[in-house]
Structure 1
Amino acid sequence: MRATADSVRAQILAILTAWGMPRDLAEETATVMLDTDLMGVDSHGIGMLASYEGMRRAGQVKLDARPTVLREGGPVALVDGGAGLGHPAAAFAMRLAVKKAKEVGVGAVAVVNSHHFGAAGWYVRQAAAEGCVALVTSGTKTLAMVPTRGAMPVLGTNPIAFAAPGRRQPPVVLDMATTTAAANKVRAKALRGKPIPEGWVMDGAGNPVTDGDAAVAQVFQKPEGGLSPVGGTPDMASHKGYGLGMMAHILGATLSGASFSPIRNRTQRPEDPDNIGHFMLAIDPTAFRLPGAFEHDLDDMVEVLRATPPADPALPVLIPGDPENAEREARLADGIPIPPALDRQIRDIALRANVGYLLEQA
């Protein structure tokens, strides 16, 4: 089925509030998850409810937690996520970073004691909407990336997102995992019965795994093999992707004192919070240039890139953020695709939460 955006948001909100999440935090989380689905990032939207339900059952996540400032001075701050879902903590941190950027030119806010926060791109888009250049990185829970010359996963997907605002043009938005694909994209493809592209997942001997169910098991259950760093298999050709993942973790987790999963997993009990970390950076261009000058030059740059002769006349040159913007328009018009396996999951979760099934056909 293809569900209306309003019904997807209503379903997420109903389940989160039934789980005990305060209304305002649930509304913000539902907004992030819906926008993620609208942009085509199916791995981080309503499909994450099953994972969050598991965390709730284990007692890992405190759904009523509100983010608080632990330390603050000048352009920087450290935020405690309170072991809650990451969406409210990350949104709070980005708002604080933007506020500081407007005051002193730059704001850098780290988050500790958080959980999965959805798509990193959502937060940089919010900063760009406020006229700021933004960067986001995050730590992760799942060990997924196989390091250069390694046979076992040690790092996570450790996302990086960047956005810069234009005036005539939409913002430039980069949102990427530092693995060839995010771990939950593997799960999303498997839910849809689709094969996994060669090069995403490998077994312990470095052989590609393309069957959806086998790939999910490889990434989430087996101690060896996993996701390749962005750029390809874990050899010297993808060493820069591996280094990029390390950088994302250092900024997104080590800086705040959040966990490094290979170490934390040695002692973490099922009910212990994941202690994920995030990093939010916002820059006000007017700290460097006259108002509007940055946006004018960015628009000029984007227009030059768009004017590049395409290799295929039917496929125009893309700017980072274009595919997500196009998908958003299409899904607002035609609905968000909900494959049968995900639909069954949502029905079961709603039943266990004692709320109605609210998804409606677009």
Structure 2
Amino acid sequence: MNSKTHPATQPAEEQERRYPAAQLREQIVAVLQAWGMSAAHAEVTARLMVQTDLLGVDSHGISMLPHYDRLRGKGLVVAAEPVRVRRFGATSLWDGQAGLGHPVAHAAMQDAISQARLHGIAFAGVRNSHHFGAAGVYARLASEAGLIGIVTSSAKGVLVVPTRASVPVLGTNPIAWAVPAGEGRDDVVLDIATSTSAANKVRVRALRDQPIPAGWVVDEGGQPVEDPQAAHARLFERQGGGLTPLGSNETLASHKGYGLGLFAQIVGASLNGGAFAAATAADPSLADAPANIGHSFIVIDPAALVGLGAFTDSVAGMADFLHGVVPADPELPVLVPGDLEAAHWRERQAGGVPLPGLLVEQLRAVSTRAGVPFVLNPVD
């Protein structure tokens, strides 16, 4: 496309600006409340979305707002009030009432945290939910409380092509773990899609017109798709092909990502009454039905076992050992999961969150349609 008529093809440095996190929160809250979400749920959702952006997970923060706008009236009930429908021992089951996943996921994880303090371990399941952002922000709620957090989820999008298959069957079905490393230290946090890349990372690259790394997206013949607009079309406009499982191809052990994605579906959805999106998508009569995404939250209290101090000392010791390993490239030190996100957090708290120009215009349009002021002003 001609760069004069398509802003996404402009150089990233010409279109990307930084914006204060507080303004992002204000904009999200205003839009969500205009859509009918309660003030309390809007504040929780905005806080989680902006935390995601501050951590550098640009694919799951404010960039999702235009997508949520498109989902309204297509199975997403923004004004939903989640409810706990069952309690058995240290377990609970929640119903998201077809609303955005952030409020119900936050409530379920907080419940699991409380129950883990009483019982040593707890499980909270969610059904009838929708997209809940980044799984890691919920796992971090536990680690910030001195507990171990484990999160998994199903997804609405049928985007991942199983090993040896020619068509997508699974969602990106994320898994996240978070553990405390002790006072004054960054938590160790792993937050991954079970696909080689999350679908929304392809969306963000398309916004920035950045090439797609070979092995993220394949066509119906299994060949890599590297053009960002073509890859976006294959994922979001149903033009064939899809995302690869973690590992990319069978030679590089994509069966492992495929298996992880399947078990994330089973534990995140089947266990809680959530849907299998591929089966739902195959029924045209359910095109605008609620997504019925499932999430699962497991919390373990180290104090019930080895003790919190001994546990965090062990985690910190391993992290220090790994940081001290001689790197293959002196310019690229060995990291532990969560290091990059912690660095992004500190840098973006001080300097603002970078947003592509195309996304800013999309957010402006969303705000206009919602009838709320557009409050984003760049800091640079």
The equivalent residue for 2:259 is: 243
Q: Is the 8 A contact 1:37 1:45 kept in 2?
A: yes
Aligned counterpart for 1:143 among listed residues 158, 162, 166: 158
The equivalent residue for 2:320 is: 303
Residue 331 of structure 2 corresponds to residue 337 of structure 1: no
Q: Is the 8 A contact 1:145 1:227 kept in 2?
A: yes
Query: What amino acid sits opposite 1:67 in the alignment?
Result: P
Is there any run of 5+ residues in structure 2 with no aligned partner, and where? Answer: 1-16
Q: How does 1:322-361 map to 2 (within 5 A)?
A: 322-361=339-378
Residue 148 of structure 2 corresponds to residue 133 of structure 1: yes
Q: Is the 8 A contact 1:93 1:109 kept in 2?
A: yes
Pairwise CA distance, 1:299: 1.1
Q: C-alpha separation between the residues in 1 aligned to 2:322 and 2:251?
A: 32
Superposed CA deviations along residues 168-207 of structure 1, whole A, max 9, x for unmatched, are 5311100000000000110011001111111100000111
The equivalent residue for 2:231 is: 215
Pairwise CA distance, 1:86: 0.1
Give the match's secondary structure for 1:15. Answer: helix
Q: C-alpha separation between the residues in 1 aligned to 2:73 and 2:258?
A: 34
Superposed CA deviations along residues 41-92 of structure 1, whole A, max 9, x for unmatched, are 111111111111111143x222222221111111111111111100011011
Q: Is the 8 A contact 1:146 1:234 kept in 2?
A: no
Query: What amino acid sits opposite 1:213 in the alignment?
Result: Q
Query: What amino acid sits opposite 1:303 in the alignment?
Result: D
For residues 264 and 6 of structure 1, do their structure 2 counterparts lie closer, same or farther at Cα, with a shift above 3 Å needed? Answer: same
Give the match's secondary structure for 2:213. Answer: coil
The equivalent residue for 1:122 is: 137
Q: Is 255-264 or 165-174 further displaced after alignment?
A: 165-174
Q: C-alpha separation between the residues in 2 aligned to 1:190 and 1:308?
A: 36
Residue 301 of structure 2 corresponds to residue 284 of structure 1: yes
Q: C-alpha separation between the residues in 1 aligned to 2:190 and 2:220?
A: 31
Pairwise CA distance, 1:316: 2.1
Residue 35 of structure 2 corresponds to residue 19 of structure 1: yes
Give the match's secondary structure for 2:149. Answer: strand
Q: C-alpha separation between the residues in 2 aligned to 1:13 and 1:352?
A: 15
Q: Is the 8 A contact 2:281 2:287 kept in 1?
A: no
Pairwise CA distance, 1:237: 2.4
Q: Is the 8 A contact 1:163 1:173 kept in 2?
A: yes
Query: What amino acid sits opposite 2:272 in the alignment?
Result: S
For residues 224 and 167 of structure 1, do their structure 2 counterparts lie closer, same or farther at Cα, with a shift above 3 Å needed? Answer: same
Pairwise CA distance, 1:221: 2.2
Q: C-alpha separation between the residues in 2 aligned to 1:198 and 1:217?
A: 16
Aligned counterpart for 1:31 among listed residues 31, 47, 51: 47
The equivalent residue for 1:172 is: 188
Query: What amino acid sits opposite 1:93 in the alignment?
Result: A
The equivalent residue for 1:104 is: 119
Q: C-alpha separation between the residues in 2 aligned to 1:155 and 1:270?
A: 17
Pairwise CA distance, 1:295: 1.1
Residue 218 of structure 2 corresponds to residue 202 of structure 1: yes
Pairwise CA distance, 1:110: 0.7
Q: C-alpha separation between the residues in 2 aligned to 1:132 and 1:237?
A: 32
Query: What amino acid sits opposite 1:305 in the alignment?
Result: L
The equivalent residue for 2:100 is: 85
Q: C-alpha separation between the residues in 1 aligned to 2:251 and 2:327?
A: 32
* TM value normalised by structure 1: 0.97
Q: C-alpha separation between the residues in 2 aligned to 1:75 and 1:82?
A: 23
Q: Is 304-313 or 38-47 further displaced after alignment?
A: 304-313
Q: C-alpha separation between the residues in 1 aligned to 2:61 and 2:102?
A: 11
The equivalent residue for 1:155 is: 170
Pairwise CA distance, 1:309: 1.5
Query: What amino acid sits opposite 1:225 in the alignment?
Result: G
Q: Is the 8 A contact 2:135 2:151 kept in 1?
A: yes
Superposed CA deviations along residues 138-190 of structure 1, whole A, max 9, x for unmatched, are 00000111011001000010000001111153111000000000001100110
Q: Is the 8 A contact 1:149 1:235 kept in 2?
A: no
Pairwise CA distance, 1:290: 3.0
Pairwise CA distance, 1:94: 0.4
Q: C-alpha separation between the residues in 2 aligned to 1:269 and 1:235?
A: 37
Query: What amino acid sits opposite 1:279 in the alignment?
Result: S
Q: Is the 8 A contact 1:139 1:248 kept in 2?
A: yes
For residues 232 and 79 of structure 1, do their structure 2 counterparts lie closer, same or farther at Cα, with a shift above 3 Å needed? Answer: same
Q: C-alpha separation between the residues in 2 aligned to 1:236 and 1:340?
A: 36
Pairwise CA distance, 1:122: 0.1
Aligned counterpart for 1:9 among listed residues 16, 25, 37: 25
Q: C-alpha separation between the residues in 2 aligned to 1:79 and 1:269?
A: 22
Q: Is 160-169 or 132-141 further displaced after alignment?
A: 160-169
Q: Is the 8 A contact 1:148 1:236 kept in 2?
A: no
Q: Is the 8 A contact 1:128 1:134 kept in 2?
A: yes
Q: C-alpha separation between the residues in 2 aligned to 1:47 and 1:177?
A: 17
* TM value normalised by structure 2: 0.92
For residues 291 and 338 of structure 1, do their structure 2 counterparts lie closer, same or farther at Cα, with a shift above 3 Å needed? Answer: closer
Q: C-alpha separation between the residues in 1 aligned to 2:88 and 2:94?
A: 12
Query: What amino acid sits opposite 1:233 in the alignment?
Result: N
The equivalent residue for 1:261 is: 277
